[in-house]
Chain A
Amino acid sequence: MSDRFKVEMYKIANRLKARMGARYKDQEEGFLAPDVIEEADKLIAQLCEISPDVIGKHLDNLSALWESMRDTPNSPERTETAEKIFTLSHEIKDMGSLCHYELIAYFAESLRDYIARTDLNLKAQVVTIQAHLDAMQICHRKGFRTDAGPEAEELKKMVKMAIDKYH
Chain B
Amino acid sequence: MQNSLITINRYLLSIFKKKDLPYDLSNFTILVVEDSEHMQNLMASMLKVFGVGEILACANGIEAMDLLRVLQASKKSKYLTSVDIVLMDWLMPRGNGEQLLAWIRKSEKDAIRFLPVIVVSGYTTEYIATKSRDMGANETLVKPISGTNLARRICSVIDHPRPFIKSLDYFGPDRRRQNVGYKGRERRATPAEEVKVKNNV
Q: Using Cβ atoms and an 8 Å threshold, which residues of chain B touch A11?
A: 163, 197-201
- Is residue B143 contacting chain A, with contact meaning CB distance below 8 A? yes
Q: Using Cβ atoms and an 8 Å threshold, which residues of chain B touch A54?
A: 38
Interface size class of B (residues with CB under 8 A): 35 or more
Tell me the nearest residue of chain A to B35, going by C-beta.
Answer: A87
> For residues 114 through 171 of chain B, which have their beta carbon under 8 Å from a beta carbon of chain A?
114, 116, 122, 124, 143-148, 150-151, 154-155, 157-159, 161, 163-168
A23 CA / B51 CA spacing, docked (Å): 17
Q: Using Cβ atoms and an 8 Å threshold, which residues of chain A touch B194?
A: 4-7
Tell me the nearest residue of chain B to A27, going by C-beta.
Answer: B20
Q: Using Cβ atoms and an 8 Å threshold, which residues of chain A touch B145?
A: 44, 98
How many residues on A have C-beta within 8 angstroms of the other chain's C-beta atoms?
Answer: 48
With A8-B196, A10-B114, A12-B201 in contact, do A20 and B23 touch (Cβ < 8 Å)? yes
Q: How near does chain B come to A28, taking the closest CB pair, in angstroms?
A: 7
Do A98 and B144 have beta carbons less than 8 Å apart? yes
B 187-198 to A, binary, CB cutoff 8 A, 1 in contact else 0: 000100011111
Interface centre among A11, A31, A32, A33 (most CB of B within 10 A): A32
Tell me the nearest residue of chain A to B21, going by C-beta.
Answer: A23
Pairs A–B under 8 Å by Cβ, sample size 26: A7-B194, A8-B166, A9-B174, A9-B195, A10-B164, A11-B163, A11-B198, A12-B163, A16-B28, A16-B157, A17-B158, A21-B27, A24-B21, A30-B155, A30-B159, A31-B20, A31-B22, A32-B25, A36-B147, A36-B151, A39-B49, A44-B147, A90-B122, A95-B39, A97-B122, A109-B124
Residues of A within 8 A of B (CB): 1-2, 4-17, 19-21, 23-24, 27-33, 36-41, 43-44, 47, 54, 83, 87, 90-91, 93-95, 97-98, 109
